[in-house]
Every structure is written in structure tokens, then in C-alpha cells.
Amino acid sequence: MKPDGPYRAQPDSVPWAAGGTVTVLVAVLAAVAVYAFGSALAAIHPLLAIVVNVVAAVGVAPTAWRWRYTPVVRWVLAGAAAGLVLGWLAVLVDGLSGWL
């Protein structure tokens, strides 16, 4: 499958150190944002937190899928996806700890 868009990185020109740094920083920021937003919504109503997070993720997914091969944006998207999953897990653990 050919990548979407005009940008195609060459296999030997992948900046792993810089890309990894960007991925980690974006993942941390996204995880904190998702956790803060999810826990605030869960305090109002748990179903509201689930619905808003799922709608936001589904809404962003098509654009993220199209941008996945753009050289710099792919690192940001990887970090955002990892942060989203980590933030959801943190909200889930926080919510379950309140039940125990």
C-alpha cells in the first residue's frame, strides 16, 4: 500500500533519536490531558467520560490515519496514540480504585 500524501521518508533517513523524543513527550502530554479530562468528566457522570472520549478518538482517527506517513507528524501521531491509551488506562485504574 502506498503512503498517502506527497511525503515519503527514505528508510535510511529515519531520525530515531529525535523521533523517539518527540513521541515520548507527546505521549506524556496526551496521557496527562486525557487523564485530567476523563477524570473530570467521570466526576460528573462516568458514562459521559466514556462517550466523549470515544467520540473524540473516532473523530480524530481518519485524519490521523491519512497523516501517518508524513515524516514529522508520524512521530507526533505515535505519541498521541500511546498517550491516549495510557490516559484511558489511568482513568480506568483510577475509576476502579474508587470502587474497591
Q: Which three cell numbers stand for residue 24?
A: 515520548
Can you give the pTM of this predicted structure? 0.80
pLDDT mean across residues, the chain: 88
Res 100: pLDDT = 67
User: Mind listing the pLDDT tens digit for each residue in 51-91?
Assistant: 999 999 999 999 999 998 888 899 999 999 999 999 999 99
The CA-atom distances, in angstroms, between 64 and each of 21, 97, 99 are: 19, 32, 35
The better pLDDT of the pair 21, 12 is held by 21
User: Mind listing the pLDDT tens digit for each residue in 27-60?
Assistant: 999 999 999 999 999 899 989 988 999 999 999 9
Q: Are 31 and 39 in contact (CB under 8 A)?
A: no
**Domain boundaries, given as residue ranges, for the chain:** 31-99
